């Protein structure tokens, strides 16, 4: 994955902007700092780039794009903000929401200007109109890093920052762990883009004990390093009560599970528990569906759907790649609901009764007893599941990302517990909190990584050097 990228092997002593982490937030920050004329260097503690970005479904939430226009989708910044605030239950930092909305379209143009391509736009969680733009995440990161490399930026793999270094109240660099001891890299500014802590059982137990029975995924390096480094310097931490898992992951390890799972529920499927009963409004954000699934007996649930839903499979979007899951043997298939019920091993007659009731209410125009009125967010209408064959996907809840973290201002400066900036320390991506609040709109994790990463790199590059070069 790193072929052709500006990879270095010797640790520098001094740099302009030092970026920690190689997901989209880090890559955007590196390129933005390099475009501003700084000598920018990225440290990645694992042996490969990507972090949680390359484990994601690769969807970015933008409004007003060429792709939406081509598909006849009407959207606006005002509607985007409304959806973000409502999905976040109005406990998100409105200033950060405004920042996202103000810079999302120019960041889209910046990314596409560097060769990033987006496919067919889809509707998904929290969106009142379709605005999930899919892309090849690895290809996106490679393009940004190559562009940064042409401007003199550099990448170091297998290089873990241990501690931030502060002098006279301001951050001046990091200490890096090496085989021979510790190496200090001085910098005019540091950007934390280290991801969350989905891979840290200790931090999950501390901040999200409700995820104890969830599956664990996310980038291998997402163990909370940046959170702890900022915390050590007195940084504020916000949104930890809202850590949630993602619904739709295959319920047990499987070689063909890419870590994203599927969301057939957003294309018309229903979700049922071990009793064969629906347990949630399937149009809710998949984080909320994940919470509801964790509360079910035995934790494992099933997404049940028919040929109509299967026909909407899209190999370009991992969460809608139903046919691929079928080819991999990850779906149960049957010619009737009764047969599917037996294959799953549900109580006799339970799934048949559930599907009959669901279909009957739709046909009669009656309200859904769980409140489902749309397929995803405010888009699409439920339809009867009646066209064979029928399918079931054993689905659990996985912690892919933690969506909480360090407090930042609208310049992406890290703030201490009193709300004061920690000088020369910036952060972007999953390591920051405040933006999502109490809920999550599909596409805003990748979206905020690109938008806020670019802004963090730009602002970090504006710091005046006080180092002797």
Q: Of 23, 97, 100, give the one whose Cα is nearest residue 438.
A: 97
Mean of the per-residue pLDDT values of the chain:
93
At which residue do the structure tokens 């605005």 appear? 131
Residue 194 banded pLDDT, cuts 50, 70, 90: very high
Integer Cα distance of 228 and 237 in angstroms: 10
At 55-82, the pLDDT tens digits run: 888 999 999 999 999 999 999 999 999 9
CA neighbours closer than 13 Å in the CB half-sphere of residue 289: 35
pTM (two decimals)? 0.86
DSSP-derived letter for residue 403 is -
At which residue do the structure tokens 């659990």 appear? 396
Integer Cα distance of 44 and 22 in angstroms: 6
Let me know how long the chain is: 469
> What is the number of other CB atoms lying within 10 angstroms of the CB of residue 152?
14
Contact 331, 322 (CB under 8 A): yes
Answer yes or no: is pLDDT of 379 > 80. yes
DSSP-derived letter for residue 365 is T
At 141-186, the pLDDT tens digits run: 999 999 999 999 999 999 999 999 999 999 999 999 887 789 999 9
Residues 6+ apart with CB under 8 A from 106: none
Which of 5-14, 213-222, 376-385, 430-439 has the highest mean predicted lDDT (pLDDT)?
A: 430-439
Contact 238, 434 (CB under 8 A): yes
Integer Cα distance of 57 and 224 in angstroms: 22
At 102-117, the pLDDT tens digits run: 999 999 999 999 999 9
Domains in the chain with CATH codes = 7-241+400-461 (3.50.50.60), 246-399 (3.90.700.10)
């Amino acid at each position: 994955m790193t072929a052709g990228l500006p990879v270095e092997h010797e640790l520098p002593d001094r740099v302009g902007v030092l970026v920690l982490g190689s997901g989209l937030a880090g890559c955007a920050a590196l390129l933005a700092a390099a475009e501003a004329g700084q000598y920018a260097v990225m440290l990645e503690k694992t042996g490969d780039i990507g972090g949680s970005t390359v484990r994601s479904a690769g969807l970015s939430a933008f409004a007003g794009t060429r792709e939406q226009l081509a598909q006849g989708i009407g959207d606006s910044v005002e509607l985007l903000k409304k959806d973000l605030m409502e999905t976040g239950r109005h406990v998100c930092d409105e200033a950060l929401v405004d920042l996202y909305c103000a810079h999302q379209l120019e960041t889209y143009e910046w990314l596409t200007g560097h060769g990033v391509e987006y496919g067919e736009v889809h509707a998904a969680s929290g969106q009142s109109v379709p605005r999930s733009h899919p892309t090849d995440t690895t290809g996106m990161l490679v393009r940004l890093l190559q562009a940064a490399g042409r401007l003199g930026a550099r990448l170091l793999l297998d290089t873990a920052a241990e501690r931030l270094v502060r002098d006279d109240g301001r951050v001046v660099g990091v200490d890096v762990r090496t085989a021979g001891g510790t190496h200090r890299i001085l910098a005019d500014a540091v950007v934390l883009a280290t991801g969350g802590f989905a891979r840290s059982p200790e931090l999950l137990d501390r901040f999200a004990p409700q995820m104890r029975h969830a599956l664990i995924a996310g980038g291998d390096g997402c163990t909370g390093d940046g959170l702890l480094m900022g915390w050590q310097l007195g940084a504020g931490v916000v949104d930890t009560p809202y850590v949630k898992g993602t619904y739709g992951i295959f319920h047990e390890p499987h070689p063909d599970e890419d870590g994203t799972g599927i969301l057939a529920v957003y294309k018309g499927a229903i979700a049922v528990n071990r009793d064969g009963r629906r347990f949630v409004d399937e149009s809710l954000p998949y984080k909320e569906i994940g919470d509801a699934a964790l509360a079910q007996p035995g934790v494992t649930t099933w997404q049940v759907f028919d040929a109509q839903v299967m026909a909407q499979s899209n190999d370009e979007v991992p969460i809608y790649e139903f046919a691929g899951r079928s080819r991999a043997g990850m779906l149960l298939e049957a010619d009737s609901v009764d047969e599917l019920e037996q294959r799953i091993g549900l109580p006799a007659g339970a799934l048949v009764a559930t599907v009959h009731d669901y279909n009957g209410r739709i046909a009669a125009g009656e309200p859904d007893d769980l409140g489902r009125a749309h397929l995803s967010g405010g888009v699409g209408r439920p339809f009867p599941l009646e066209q064979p064959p029928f399918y079931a996907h054993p689905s659990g809840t996985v912690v892919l990302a933690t969506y909480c973290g360090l407090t930042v201002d609208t310049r992406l400066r890290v703030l201490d517990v009193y709300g004061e900036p920690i000088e020369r320390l910036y952060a972007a991506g999953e390591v920051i909190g405040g933006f999502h609040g109490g809920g999550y709109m599909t596409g805003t994790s990748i979206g905020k990584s690109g938008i806020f990463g670019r802004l963090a790199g730009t602002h970090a590059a504006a710091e005046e050097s006080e180092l002797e070069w």
